[in-house]
Every structure is written in C-alpha cells, then in structure tokens.
Amino acid sequence: MNRLDQQGDAVDVIIVGGGMVGLALACALRHSGLQIVVIERNEPQVRYSLGRDCRVSAIVHGNAQILEGLGVWKYLQDEAGPIRQMRVWDNQEAGGIRFDCGEIETDALGYLVENSVMQQAMHNAMLESDTIEFCCPAEIDELHWGSDRVSVRLSDGRLLTSPLLVGADGGRSWVREQVGIGVWQRDYQQQGIVATVRPQQPHHGYAFQRFLPTGPLAMLPMSDNLCSIVWSAENSEAERLMAMQDNDFLQALNLTFGPMLGRITEAGERAAFPLRGQLARHLVRERVALIGDAAHCIHPLAGLGVNLGIRDAMVLAQEIVDARRFDEDWGELRVLDRYMKQRLPDVLSIMASMEGFHQLFTATLPGLKELRGLGMRLVGNSGAVKQLLMRNSTGLSLPVPKQIS
C-alpha cells in the first residue's frame, strides 16, 4: 500500500506558501472553525535599504478595508505610508494626470507597506486563532490526489490530508507544476530596480510616476518622509544602473526624476528583479486552487499585483465558507469554478490594462506621443469617468467581500 494512503492528520485546507497572499487566505478563514495548515519552505529573506525592507507593496484603499476586516490592519496602520495623491506624466512633456483621494471622498488612494511588515502583521492576526497552524521551515516530499482528498507528506514524515490544496507559492509555483498546469508568459525584457531613498523636501503623501521610453520610474511615499523607488528599465539599462557606484546612481536618479521633491539626498542598497507577465492556463483543478502569483503575475507599473492576490484570497475564502454552510465539498471542481468565474474578470482586465499601458508608453510610433498627451488630458478632465477609473483601480467598486461572513 502507498504510504500516502495511510491515515494522517485530517485538516480542512492546506495552503502551500506563507507569503502575503497565502497568509491573507489563512486570516480570512481564521474565524470559520476550519482547521488550516500553512506550509512555507523558508523564512523570508529581507533586504534592507536605509533600514527599510526594499520590497514594498502599494495596498489600494479597497484592500486596506479588506485587511481591516481580517484583523490585520491594526498591526500595520502605524507603519503604512498613506498615498493621498498620484501624479503621472509622460517623460518630460508638459502636463500629465493627477489623481487625488478627495475626488473619491477617501482619506487615501492607498498605502505603501513594507512586505516584511505586512507579513508580520498577518502572523500577528493568525496568532489570535487556534485553528491555524503555520509550518516553517517545511517541505513537501510527496503529494497524492485521491477521489475525495489530497494527501501531503512533509519532509519530517508527517502526513496531512485535506479536501483542498491551495497553491499560494509564487510565480514559480511548485503546486502548479505538480498539477500540470501550464502558463501563458510574457517576458518584458525589463528589470525592476527597488531601493529606499531620502528626498530633500516633504513628500506630503504624494506618489509620482514618470513614464520613460525604457520603462516607468515610480517614487512612492513611505513614513518618516522616506520614499521607495521602483525603476523599471530594459535589461541593458537596468544592468548599467545596478553596476553604478552609489553616487553615480544617485545622480542618475536625480536627473531622471527631476526636482519635484527637491534633490534626492540619499539612496540605500538597490535590488533588481526580472519583470514578467504570466497567467496560469487554469486557476483551478479538482481539489486544487491557485491564488496570487501562482495564478497570475503582472507588470508592477501600477503596483496592483499583491492587491489581486488578496482579492483572490477573499473570494476563495468566501466560497469555502459558503460551501461548508450548505454541506458542499469545497474541494470539488464545481465549487472551485465559482471562485474562478468571479476572479477572472478582475484579473484579465488588470492584466490587459497593464499590457496596454506598457505598449502605449514604450512604443515609438509617429504621433503616439501627441496621442498620449491628448489621452492624459482627456482623462484628467473627464470628471465622472476619472472617478469611475479611480474607484475601480482602488478596489472600492469591485464585488469582493471586505470580510468573510
């Protein structure tokens, strides 16, 4: 008899991946009465830049409401830098678009949070529940699908069985690979350079994004008047920037960004990562669901990737809770299909928008610059259309539960 056919510890949901999205799902289920196990291979390695995690996430206002409903926000609100206004412009051309939180009657468009701070806040929320077990470091040695359960053998010999396995293990998802789900992939031939910087003047919660022919440069407000940069550049340019001495990089940053915040006086340690777009060919299979980067990766130019993942977690959690309420098997494909059908419109629309923006601002067709300028002016002066765009991009008008009922 296969060892995996032996009786093990029966739990209700196994989540593979203890990053922000996997932890969001665990937190969403923490009051459901279900037994949840989160399996994470390694403790996250934090790279610091001016004493801050150089990997950050811009949490849109609607997702901040979700985190409040999950009991997470109270642990990170003092560390989150509010984004009250966003200014976008095309290279050094005159004009641009300004998005202000007052236009949608909120106190912020979103909040900038260090990834490690977010994960710690989610851990704190998980500790309030005795139905969630976090296994780290832990690896899966064996995996088996039965007709009604998934069985997982950990490297320490422990056997877990569950009606549902959730892959929240990132863009190179091991779960997705084991299930045999392929991906559509788009290599942007770019790298994203991230670092913490110190501007001369107060940022007042304003975020800036300048679109360059080689990729966008974003300057995002953090607490203590620091900023996080995300500088997306074609591979050759990114390699040149990463090879620079600190003073040379600081000079290049000032020349590229301009004087909006005075001079950037200090830049911390830099890191770079390749930029790819990716979509799993299937978000669900019998007894398996993919969420977050395991399901989809997008260009970071609008900082919406983790927001999509948190919304995945909320919709899947609600479907699991609803299935249990009506005595359904939440690992069955017909239940998981409901999750997929709810999430695909949001995911596909954001992916299409990011691809459209990338093409619009990197193409060099004659007359395109003037067309971009006209389009930005039209959106900036469009009133109700602009408000609708802002409410969608901040997640306020999307049909995603703010807490699990």
Domains within the chain, CATH numbers bracketed: 3-184+276-393 (3.50.50.60)
Helix axes of 305-325 and 20-28: crossing angle, nearest 10 degrees? 30
Q: β-strand 13-16 against 165-167: which pairing, if any?
A: parallel
Would the pLDDT of 312 be above 70?
yes
Q: From 91, 282, 86, select the one nearest 179 (Cα to Cα).
A: 282
Q: Check residue 262 and give its pLDDT.
A: 96
Residue spans of beta strands (DSSP E) within 76-168: 81-83, 85-90, 97-100, 110-114, 132-135, 140-145, 150-154, 159-162, 165-167
Q: How confident is the model at residue 279 (pLDDT cuts 50, 70, 90)?
A: very high
Would the pLDDT of 68 be above 80?
yes
Would the pLDDT of 111 be above 60?
yes
Would the pLDDT of 89 be above 60?
yes
Q: pTM of the predicted model, to two decimals?
A: 0.92
Would the pLDDT of 5 be above 50?
no
Would the pLDDT of 384 be above 90?
no
Q: Check residue 369 and give its pLDDT.
A: 57
CA distance 286 to 163: 10
